[in-house]
Amino acid sequence: MSGSNSPKSVRTPLGRVRGLGSSHSGTSDFWRQRLTAVAMLLLLIPVIFIVMSLLRSNQAGAAQVLGTPLVAIIMLLFIVASVWHMKIGMQVVIEDYVHDEKIKLISIIGNNFFSAAVALASIYAILKLSSGV
Amino acid sequence: MALSIVHRATGVALYFGTLLLVWWLIAAASGPVAYAHVQAFTGSIIGRLIAFGYTWALIHHAMSGIRHLVWDLGYGFKPSEREWLTWAALIGGIGITILLWIIAYAIGGGR
């Protein structure tokens, strides 16, 4: 960034204002990784409390508690934050260690698919319990 | 201290550990038979080891993550501060994990 204001910069004025760099996404992943981290830190104690309170439960008890609005909302927030966080984290790991372009591409696609599947499956389960169907 | 690689390794472990969370939630939504399968697994020796490892990975990653957030804010870069943060994350992660499992067994969740 320091060189962007020098006369030698090849960046256009518009590109400099947008500040998105060559990836066209700027620092959005960096920011979201921290945003979701803070969210999870706030949610961690309630989530641990919920999970611990369900340790002795059978299916009927667990289903009832997980379907309670407050519990369901806390779990949904935690799932959304954690899946977003882990998707970005795994992408960083892949980009750091996988140097073969084809394998890297497949890994990143797989990471997106896995994360989406985890999120959707968890959200579906909680919404199903919440609606009592 | 080479703790940043541990942060990364626990992150990757938690990534795949979400499968256990998904399995648990789907089973709860599916019915008593599916839920009994989860409980049979988490009650087994290997299941307990995985659940214990998952707990530690989660707590350690959270503690170590706080350390990174402190650094992101521009604090804690002196050698003594870095050492302190690292040891706090390490000891805090192990300590809280053991504490949670003691509570879990105390309330009868370890059956």
Q: Band of the pLDDT at A5, cuts 50, 70, 90? A: low
The domains found in chain B, sorted by start residue, are 3-16+44-106 (1.20.1300.10)
On average, the pLDDT of chain A sits at: 91
Side-chain-facing half-sphere of B82: CA atoms under 13 Å = 10
B:57-76 residues touching chain A, CB 8 A cutoff: 62, 65-66, 69, 72
Contact: B18, A82; criterion CB under 8 Å: yes
Give the number of domains in chain A. Answer: 1
Please indicate, yes or no, if residue A71 is contained in any of the structural domains: yes
B15 touches chain A (CB under 8 A): yes
Contact: A62, B31; criterion CB under 8 Å: no
Chain B nearest-CA distance from A27, in A, is: 14
pLDDT of residue A1: 47
- CATH number for the domain including A91? 1.20.1300
Q: Which domain holds residue A102?
A: 28-131
Residue A4 scores a pLDDT above 70: no
Contact: A121, B28; criterion CB under 8 Å: no
Top residue of B22, B30, B33 to mutate, by most chain A CBs within 10 Å, is: B22
State how far the Cα of B85 lies from the Cα of B68, in Å rounded to an integer.
Answer: 9
Please indicate, yes or no, if residue A4 is contained in any of the structural domains: no
Chain A nearest-CA distance from B97, in A, is: 11
Contact: B29, A125; criterion CB under 8 Å: yes
Tell me whether 0.90 is exceeded by the ipTM: yes
- Segment A20-30, tens digit of pLDDT: 877 777 788 99
A11-15, A76-80, A99-103, A128-132: which has the minimum mean pLDDT? A11-15
Chain centroid to CA A127: 19
pLDDT of residue B1: 56
A1-10, A85-94, B18-27: which has the minimum mean pLDDT? A1-10
B85 touches chain A (CB under 8 A): no
Whole-number Cα distances in Å, B100 to A61, B25, B50, B91: 21, 21, 15, 14
Backbone angles phi, psi at A57, to 5 degrees: -75, 150
Closest CA to A21 of A29, A11, A31: A11
The residues of chain B scoring below 50 in pLDDT are none
- Residue B56: CB atoms within 10 Å: 19
- Do residues B67 and B85 lie in contact, with contact meaning Cβ atoms separated by under 8 Å? yes
Residue A40 scores a pLDDT above 60: yes
Contact: B32, A59; criterion CB under 8 Å: yes
